[in-house]
Amino acid sequence: MLLTLDLNDARPLHEQVAGAIRRAIGEGAYAPGDRLPPARDLAQALGINPNTVLRALRDLRDEGLLEFRRGRGVSVAGRADGRALLAQRARELLDEAKRYGYGRDDLITILEGLP
5-47 per-position pLDDT tens digit: 887 888 899 999 998 898 888 788 888 899 999 999 999 999 9
Q: Classify residue 56 by burial, with Cβ atoms within 10 Å: 0-12, 13-18, 19+.
A: buried
The DSSP 8-state label assigned to residue 10 in this structure reads S
User: Domain 13-76 falls in which CATH fold?
Assistant: Arc Repressor Mutant, subunit A (1.10.10)
DSSP code at position 35? B
Q: What is the pLDDT of residue 79?
A: 67
How far is residue 115's CA from residue 112's CA, in Å, rounded to a whole number? Answer: 8
pTM: 0.69
Q: List, for residues 52-90, the tens digit of each pLDDT value.
A: 999 999 999 988 889 998 888 999 987 666 667 677 788
